[in-house]
Amino acid sequence: MTRQPDLLYSDTEDDLRAAVRSLLADRADPQAVLGRIEEPSPYLPGLWEALAGGIGAAGLLVPEKLGGQGASHREAAVVLEELGRAVTPAPYLTSSVVATETLLALAADSGPAADLLAALASGERVAVLALPFSTAPRKPGDPERRVPAVADAVAADVLLVPRPDGLYAVDAADAAVTRQSSLDLTRPLAVVDTRDATGVRLAGTEAGRAAVRRGLLAGAGLLASEQLGLAEWCLEETVRHTKERYQFNRPVGSFQALKHRMAHLWLDVVGARAAARAAADALAAGAIDAELTVSVAQAYCSGVAVRAAEECVQLHGGIGMTWEHPAHLALKRAKADQLALGSTGHHQDTIATLTDLPSPS
Amino acid sequence: MTDAAELQARTRALLAAHPPATTDRTEFLRARFDAGLAWVHYPAGLGGLDAPRALQAVVDAELAAAGAQDNDPRRIGIGLGMAAPTLLAYGSDEVKSRFLKPLWTGEEVWCQLFSEPGAGSDLAALGTRAVRDEATGDWIVDGQKVWTSSAHTARWAILIARTDPEQPKHRGITYFVCDMTDPGVEVRPLRQITGEAEFNEVFLTGVRIPDAHRLGEVGDGWRVAQTTLMNERVSIGGARIPREGGMIGKAAGVWRDRPDLRTHALHRRLLDLWVDAEVARLTGERLRQQLVAGQPGPEGSAMKLGFARLNQAISGLEVELLADEGLLYGDWTMVRPDLVDFTGRDAGYRYLRSKGNSIEGGTTEVLLNIVAERVLGLPPEPRNDKDVPWKDLAR
C-alpha cells in the first residue's frame, strides 16, 4: 500500500509563511533585490540575520537540543516557497538545508559537527557543501580539490569538503573562493579551491559519503518548494499584468489565447504543489519512498518553474524583457534551478531505477 | 451531533440485524438507507443523519470490513452524483421521499437529458421545448437530446427544456424529472468511435410531465442545472488510487513484461508520463484531503483536465509500445455496455475511448476558460448572446 502523505499546510506552517512573507515584503522586495544584483554581494544587509536568527528559519531542521527549532522539512519547505516567490538572495537552501542536513546525518551530539550545526541553526555562521550546484543526490561523483559552480560559497564561513578519506570542515578564510559570473544573479557561484587548507575531519569516507547524499537529497526535495513558490509568483504577476494591460481596446487577459496559457500554467502549479508537498512530507517522515518522491518532485517542478518564468516574460510583452522588471530574476533563477541538485534527466534515471522501468539494453 | 463512535455503533447494529452473507443485496441496501447510513450527510429519513460528510468514511470502512455489498456507484453515478443533490436541493418533500431511496439502492437508474445536437459546450442554447398545457398544468415536451449515457437502462431522467423562447437563453429554461417509460420517449443507441454504443440519442415527442415533477421555479432551470453540474465536478477525486493505479500501470506493465519492445524514445516518454501520472495521483490525494478538512479548493477542475490529457497521452504511447500488437483491435462488435471499463479492455480501445475525456462533461477548451475566469479572475470573453432573446440567436 502506498503511504498517504499529508499534503496540506498546518496552521503553524501558515503562520511561518506569513512571518517570512512579511519580512521579505519589508526587506527584500523586487526593487531591493534588483538594486543589489550587480554589487559584489547580492545579499541584502541585515536580511539573513532577520530571517535566520529573528524568525529562526535557519534552525528548522535542527533538533532543539542542538540549538535548533526542532521542526521539520515541511516547515523548511514553506520558507523556501516564500524565498522562491521573492527570488531572495539568501544562502538558505545551501546552508540551512543541504549543509545542515549533511551535518545532521553524522548524528553527532558533541564535537565540531555539533558545534557547527548549532552555529548554522542560529544563523551565526553559513556553511556550504563544496560540490558543484548541479550535483545529483544519487551520483555525487568523485570530489575534486578545485570545485567550480559552488552556490553561495561567497557567503560561506565554512566549507564542507568531501575528500577521498572523509568529510572535512574547512574555514572559508583558508580556502580560495573566486566568484564566477553566474546565470542566476541572486545565487552567486564560485570556484572553491581547498588544496592549501587542512580543515577538521568530521567523518570517515563511507559516513561522509552517506551524509553528503542525504544533504543533497534533502536539498533536491526542498528545491521543489522553491520552484513552486517561484512558479506561483510568476503566474500571479502575469495574471495581474494581463488584467491591467489594455491592447485592442480590451484587457489582454480577456483574449482566449492568453487565458488558456495561464489556465494551463495554473494546472501545472496545482500539480507542483502536490508534488513538492509530498517530497517535503516524505523527507520529514523519513518515508521509505522518500528518494522516489523527491525525484518525482524534481522531475516535475523544475519544468513547471521554467515554464512559468518563460510565460511570465512572454506575456508581459516588452516589459518582460527589461532589466527594471523582476521577471528576469525569476527566469534566471528558474533556469538555474532546473540544473541544480540533479537535472530532470538525472531524476528520471533515478525514477527508472526505483520503479523497475529500465532503459533499453 | 452525530460522531464517529455513534456511526460505528449504528453500522455494527445494521450488520448484526442484516448479516451481509445471508441478506439479499437489495434488501441490505434498503435497510442501510433506512438506517441513515447511505449518505450520512443527507437529512434523516432521506438516507442520512445530518452528519458531517467526512464521516461517511467511517461507515464505509466498517461495511467494507464486513464484506457488505455496495450499490455499485460506478453503474449509478449519474443518479448519485448529479440527480440526487439536485433533488435534495430543489425537490418537494414528496419528490424527495419518492425518488431518493430507489435511486440510492440502484433499483432505479437515472440519466441526464441535458446535451443536444446544437447545444453541447453552449448548453444554455438548448432548444428542446416544454409547453404548458393550461387545462391540466402538465408540461408537453418535444425535442432531441444526445450523448445520454444509461438512457437505455434508466427509469428516470433529469431534463432541462426551454419554456420561454422570448427570454435570453439562460433565463427561459426550466428543470424537470422525466419518466423514461413515457410512450413519447424514444432511445436510440449512438455508435461511437470505439464501435460500441455507450451513449444514446433520446427523442422526446409530446412527452407529458406533471408540474409536480418540476424542480425549481419556471424559468430558473439554469440555476438548478448549476447545482447538478457543480456536483458533477465535486464527485471527481473522491477515490484513493495507489501508485500506478490508473492507465499508467497498464503501460508500465507492458514495459516490464516485454523488454523486446523497448526503445530509448519510448523510455523517455514513458518516464515523462509516469511522473505526470504520479503528480496527478498526488493532486487528487491533496484535493481529497482538502475536502475532508472542509477546505474545498478549485483543484477539481484541474483533475478533470489533467486526467483527460494524461489518459490520451498514455494510451497513445501504449499502442505504439505494443508495436505489431498495437495494429490490432480487440472487437468492433456493436454492444451497449453499462459502464466504461478503461482498464479491462485493450490498448486500442483505451486510445479511442480516452479521446472523449477531453469532450465529455465540458470540453477542455471551455473548462480552461472557466479556470481562467473563475479561478484566476481574468476578464470574461466579450459576449454577444447574453441579452438577446433565445429565438433571435444564430443557430
pLDDT digits (tens, 9 = 90+) for B193-207: 999 999 999 999 999
Average pLDDT over residues A32-48: 95
Which of the pair, B228 or A331, is modelled with greater confidence? A331
Query: What residues in B contact A253, CB-CB < 8 Å?
Result: 372, 378-379
Task: Note the pTM of the prediction, 2 decimals.
Answer: 0.92
What's the start-to-end Cα distance of chain B, in Å? 53
What is the C-alpha to C-alpha distance for residues B147 and B156, in angstroms, rounded to an integer? 16
pLDDT score of A140 more than 80: no
Query: What residues in A contact B368, CB-CB < 8 Å?
Result: 259-260, 263-264
What is the C-alpha to C-alpha distance for residues B204 and B208, in angstroms, rounded to an integer? 10
Contact assignment for A360 to B264 by CB distance below 8 Å: yes
Chain B interface, best mutation among A259, A294, A343, A346, by max B CB count within 10 A: A259
State pLDDT tens for residues B8-20.
Answer: 999 999 999 999 9
pLDDT, residue B298, reads 80
Average pLDDT over residues A96-112: 96
What is the C-alpha to C-alpha distance for residues A6 and A291, in angstroms, rounded to an integer? 17
Q: From its phi and psi, is residue A199 left (phi > 0), alpha (psi between -120 and 50) or beta?
A: left
pLDDT score of B91 more than 80: yes
What is the C-alpha to C-alpha distance for residues B288 and B291, in angstroms, rounded to an integer? 5
Residue of A8, A242, A348 lying closest to B271 (CB–CB): A348
> How many CB pairs below 8 Å do chains A and B form together?
129
B38-44 long-range Cβ contacts below 8 angstroms, 24+ apart: B38/B104, B39/B84, B39/B104, B40/B2, B40/B7, B42/B88, B42/B100, B43/B88
pLDDT score of A141 more than 80: no
Q: CA B266 → CA A284, B274, B308, distances in Å?
A: 34, 12, 20
Of A14-23, B220-229, B237-246, which has the strongest mean pLDDT?
A: A14-23
Residue B140 CB-density burial (10 A; 0-12 exposed, 13-18 middle, 19+ buried): middle
Residue of A254, A274, A275 lying closest to B382 (CB–CB): A254
Report yes or no: B380 at the A interface, CB cutoff 8 Å.
yes
State pLDDT tens for residues B306-352.
Answer: 999 999 999 999 999 999 999 999 989 999 987 777 777 899 999 99
Chain B interface, best mutation among A9, A232, A239, A296, by max B CB count within 10 A: A296
pLDDT, residue B238, reads 55
Task: Provide the annotated active-site residues of B.
Answer: 232
Report yes or no: B365 at the A interface, CB cutoff 8 Å.
yes
Report yes or no: B268 at the A interface, CB cutoff 8 Å.
yes
Query: What residues in B contact A1, CB-CB < 8 Å?
Result: 242
Query: What residues in B contact A7, CB-CB < 8 Å?
Result: 282, 285-286, 289
Query: What residues in A contact B279, CB-CB < 8 Å?
Result: 271-272, 274-275, 296, 300
pLDDT score of B243 more than 90: yes
Contact assignment for A266 to B371 by CB distance below 8 Å: yes
Which one-letter DSSP state was computed for residue B140? E
- Which residue is it, cell 528558474? A334
For residue B161, list its beta bridge partners: B174
Distance between B381 CA and the closest CA of chain A, angstroms: 6
Report yes or no: B296 at the A interface, CB cutoff 8 Å.
no
What is the C-alpha to C-alpha distance for residues B364 and B370, in angstroms, rounded to an integer? 10
pLDDT score of A1 more than 60: no
Distance between B271 CA and the closest CA of chain A, angstroms: 6
pLDDT score of B282 more than 60: yes
Distance between B292 CA and the closest CA of chain A, angstroms: 11
Angle B254-B256-B257 (CA atoms, 0-180°, nearest 5)?
Answer: 65
Confidence label for B236 from pLDDT (cuts 50, 70 and 90)? very low
CA neighbours closer than 13 Å in the CB half-sphere of residue A121: 23
Residue of B279, B285, B378 lying closest to A239 (CB–CB): B378
pLDDT, residue B237, reads 46
Question: What value does the mean pLDDT of chain B take?
Answer: 93
ipTM (interface pTM):
0.95
pLDDT, residue B29, reads 97
Which of the pair, B32 or B303, is modelled with greater confidence? B32
Residue of B267, B272, B302 lying closest to A359 (CB–CB): B267
Q: Which of B178, B172, B177, B176 is nearest to B124 (CA)?
A: B172
Distance between A93 CA and the closest CA of chain B, angstroms: 23
pLDDT score of B373 more than 90: yes
What is the C-alpha to C-alpha distance for residues A336 and A334, in angstroms, rounded to an integer? 5
Report yes or no: B373 at the A interface, CB cutoff 8 Å.
yes
